[in-house]
A and B are shown apart, each in its own frame.
Chain A
């Protein structure tokens, strides 16, 4: 067999072996057997010295051609096999994507504060600041400066928590004191008006206390959001527009509001505001006790006495105030069946929000 024939045979055999290779490793074995240091083709190159000189060019050319053909075949086969092996590996490493992910637990915000934040944000958008005041108040800020009559029933021991007065002052009524747990956030109005000239636009969220035994619909401690706007030329229409905007922002754009005349000592005229029932849309259902309306807040134009007591001239300025019960909103928005859940700290409740 001539050298050329031998090389042709080697090429055929090698190409066959490449074709037959099932893995990159087998392919590599073929490469080493042919092109490695001890490889068969390498052997021909090494033994070129023994080839007759006149044949060298011819044989050299043939060996090179064979090498190029084999290298190309190897490269192409390698690419194919690698792709095949990658897809096999990927197939083998697929996961059950329905298994739970690996997440760092994120804590939750308390429902009441979540709602309180939501309301604050709405009023921030309307140009209000957030203000605050003390929870242990004097009779003056909780009642007197808010125009509550000296003998108003809400001042009674049954409704208000009184606190031991360590200043030595004594109260006129048995069991009462000049110091108390605030029954409303309205006292913040007075603190703000005393400390700032109009225009005043504030909301004041905070805890308030009333002497109700805790049951599914009452808590002795709950949360209110007070609002106050004092400026030149504020009207009852502005009060209506503001609270209408608030209710729509809070409960949805399709909700309606209605204003029912009412009485509060610190506002005049005063009103209670209802929002249309979100379940029956005003038709009347069990949730709204058949009325089609849900009571949501109290409001009114700030009484001139209150303005005057805080050093603001009621002939020059007018204003309005409102108070929202956050627990009330929580019940209306989330249907919380028992208010006491808000203070239990039950993880199963807290983690819902």
Chain B
């Protein structure tokens, strides 16, 4: 809310130190979002007097003037020095008081005043017209001030337009602060001084306003549903003259952030800003029924009922919205915006003034459903107090009559001319304040005197309860947020000062800080992936609806996609079911920017929805992508491009670190893994549990994600990994006796896998074989034959209880070779 300090000062003494005041507002809960100094536009604009006026030697319409600006311009001896100004206006004489924009002034439209020469004559400023000052449309000549206008003072001071406006963030629990009187009360409580409320004196003015008395009420009010409207008042003023507002009124509404529209609308806005009570003025004639009376009905809108609001928009309504209606149809959207058809225009002479309160939830829903937030709806949403409505309506009527003329219509039995239908009274709330409990909860012995003073200044009645340290507090009706004892604690704490509370650390018995199994595994996984050279990234949890199809990922076990009802764009229409599409986009992002080597991983949530279930299943996945190679080409290293085995190696590292038992890789095929390049993909299993997959992304899929390179990827289920992970690896004895190492190469058919051959070797060599590892694969059609390959293994023989002899090992090795050749149909390579 914009708060003019000149205006606020009428109701409370505004502290003179602006910075300290803003800090204090910030600390007590009213955020200062901006400070605007009005009148800044008139910097270097001063009042002056034409001392001389001579024709320009080289022009038949310009004048060379000398203008006295008093102390605003001084010569080297610090004496007042009049300015020479060339002027083209014809409407002035010597001795006239005028407005001078001196060098350095910036007039509206970023018009900078500089020293210049006009047809050879030096000019040190400009005598201004009203239009040049942004004060109106008059450009018939320069602005002539009254002869008693002081000379040589800032024009802003002369206009009394210098003001400071604070842009305040009012939290949603404080409807009272959306008004000048509320802010004055708040500032009073901040500085422990009283604030002044102008309501009773403004209301009293109605007694002396002109009135027209008639027999029957000019309007009737019917509230069809008390839940929608607790109180509705209407009064009619006849014979108003709609026109421009007086300057003081226009200044107030402009400072508060609204345009000055006309005297009637400006009064309703003025009252809104002053008391926080939204008003609406209708053109009375437009509401009249055939019987010459305005019959106001507050009712629910009908579904698909239509009306045009003041902003010119055609609105389609629904039954949860409230309208102000006549028997002929809706004339306003209650609490949100008036209707176009009953708007007050320049032709209007009679008005009906509405002051009411509407249900906050209804108003909020209406605004949300229509996407229409107004100064009125914002206040109704936060609850407008029904108690002072009649007084405010009368104060408003008196002010309208004061600025626009006209007479209040009174009628038999109603001397104040107010039709007031009051369905539900809000009563002040009785609360208890336990001083001892308050202190123990704050951790500070806040004096009872301070507590009572603060609550009193906020408008609470504070009395003693049963015990001296239990207070009985009556909260005012304009503070709907003060419902409970805790609400009072907050008020006292923030106004006493949070900075005065001593910081302490909780003692707290019986607590322990430990990481959960999942967090420990998560940390282990992160460490392992980083040690494997991968870089952690984060991509959107949102995905395109067709991501899984484009990726060709098998949909089994993925459920349905979680659909967003209001996505930001089509690319983010659902929640992801796999992390891979996001990572592929990152590969493309990097490659498009010339970064060829990409090694990324992400650990995050994927979402699987199911028909009939409110919430989806959320699973943690770990996924990675490798493209290019691990290192840049270096003087001592030339990495091969990433392939399947780099991905598999990462998974082997994870399997080792997670101590996953019975780990194995099963070849993926075109049916069960169409997203992978055939022959270059595998499923990772622990026993019978599938943990995930690894492989080279199918080139067509990569191309669909705008990647023009081979990409190795993997995606594992973190919950499964954690479930199969053993708590620790068991200890085995470090060997004491020496080992014997033997190498052997078998020439076998292409379809004999490394896994199969290794199994043959292990079973044939028996328990003396400690380890076997593949160290070379060799293909040569000429030497080995077509469809054949040579696989060379390093074998390590060792006994746990003795040193093996050469003969012993030779014998076992020879037997093993024979058995293996027999089993795989291969032969030993010579």
Contacts and interface: CB of A to CB of B under 8 A. Distances in A.
A169 B512 CA distance: 41
A259 B499 contact: yes
A162 B586 contact: no
B597 A303 contact: no
B224 interface: no
B441 A161 contact: no
Interface string A152-180: 11001110011111111100111111110
A271 interface: yes
B504 A237 contact: yes
A135 B172 contact: no
Interface in A245-280: 245, 258-263, 268-271
A127 interface: yes
A231 B563 CA distance: 40
A345 B508 contact: no
Nearest to A178: B614
A242 B172 contact: no
A166 B526 CA distance: 35
Could you say which interface size class chain A belongs to?
Answer: 35 or more
Contacts of B566: 157, 161-162, 175, 211
Interface in A114-147: 123-130, 134-138
B537 interface: yes
Contacts of A234: 506
B449 interface: no
Name the residue among A136, A138, A211, A259 with the largest chain B CB count within 10 angstroms. A136
Contact of B503 (A104, A244, A348): A244
A235 to B, nearest CB: 3
A199 interface: yes
B504 A235 contact: yes
B505 interface: yes
Contact of B615 (A107, A179, A211, A303): A179
Given A167-B614, A260-B26, A135 B541 contact: yes
A303 B485 CA distance: 11
Given A173-B368, A271-B498, A113 B486 contact: no
Contacts of A269: 489-490, 493-494, 498
A351 interface: yes
A95 B616 CA distance: 61
Interface string B566-606: 11100010010000001101110110010101111100110
Nearest to A233: B440
A128 B513 CA distance: 5
8 contacts: A100-B635, A107-B534, A113-B526, A164-B562, A237-B504, A240-B501, A345-B582, A345-B587
Nearest to A293: B26
Contact of B613 (A125, A167, A271): A167
A194 interface: no
A181 B587 CA distance: 27
Contacts of A165: 614
B633 to A, nearest CB: 12
Given A135-B618, A347-B590, 16 more contacts: A99-B635, A106-B533, A109-B526, A136-B607, A153-B364, A162-B566, A164-B609, A166-B613, A167-B612, A175-B566, A220-B572, A235-B504, A241-B505, A245-B505, A350-B535, A350-B536
Contacts of A108: 530, 535-536
B508 A199 contact: yes
B565 interface: yes
A221 B529 CA distance: 24
B423 interface: no
Nearest to B484: A304
B29 A261 contact: yes
Interface string B177-190: 00000000000000
Contacts of B369: 173-174
B618 to A, nearest CB: 5
A235 B536 contact: no
A263 B614 contact: no
Contacts of B489: 268-269
Given A220-B572, A236-B493, A168 B612 contact: yes
A183 interface: no
B508 A261 contact: no
Interface stretch (B248-256, B390-398, B514-522): B514-522
Q: Which of A109, A162, A163, A199 has the most chain B CB atoms inside 10 A of its CB?
A: A163
A343 interface: yes
Contacts of A156: 368
B586 A344 contact: yes
Give the residue among B381, B440, B498, B568 with the most A Cβ atoms within 10 A: B498
Nearest to A349: B537
Given A107-B532, A109-B526, A157-B566, A127 B538 contact: no
Contacts of B593: 346, 348
A107 B599 contact: yes
Contacts of A233: 440
A124 B444 CA distance: 27
A305 B552 CA distance: 49
A312 B233 CA distance: 45
A240 B493 contact: no
B511 A107 contact: no
A100 B503 CA distance: 51
A179 B614 CA distance: 7
Nearest to B560: A166
Contacts of B502: 237, 240
Interface residues of B, number: 106
Nearest to A107: B530
B688 to A, nearest CB: 29
Q: Which of B510, B536, B637 has the most CB of A within 10 A?
A: B536
B538 A112 contact: yes
Contacts of B27: 258-261
Contacts of A134: 615, 618
A136 B559 CA distance: 15
B630 A151 contact: no
A201 B490 contact: no
Contacts of B589: 344-346
Nearest to B320: A172
Contacts of B631: 105
Nearest to B562: A163
B173 interface: yes
B512 A127 contact: yes
Contacts of A238: 443, 504-506
A346 B368 contact: no
Nearest to A168: B612
Contacts of A346: 586, 589-590, 593, 595
A14 interface: no
Contacts of B587: 345
Query: Considering residues B510, B513, B533, which has the most beta carbons from chain A within 10 angstroms of its beta carbon?
Result: B513
Contact of B440 (A209, A235, A271): A235
A95 B609 CA distance: 62
A69 B656 CA distance: 65
A181 B565 CA distance: 11
A293 to B, nearest CB: 9
Nearest to B512: A127
Given A129-B514, A136-B616, A167-B612, A105 B630 contact: yes
Contacts of A220: 542, 568, 572
A342 B480 CA distance: 43
A152 B171 CA distance: 12
Given A261-B494, A345-B586, A100 B618 contact: no
Interface string A274-305: 00000000000000000000000000010110
B537 A106 contact: no
Contact of B530 (A106, A303, A343): A106
B540 interface: yes
A102 to B, nearest CB: 6
B227 to A, nearest CB: 14
Contacts of A104: 533
Contacts of B538: 110, 112-113, 342-343, 345
A304 B489 CA distance: 12
Contact of B539 (A105, A167, A345): A345
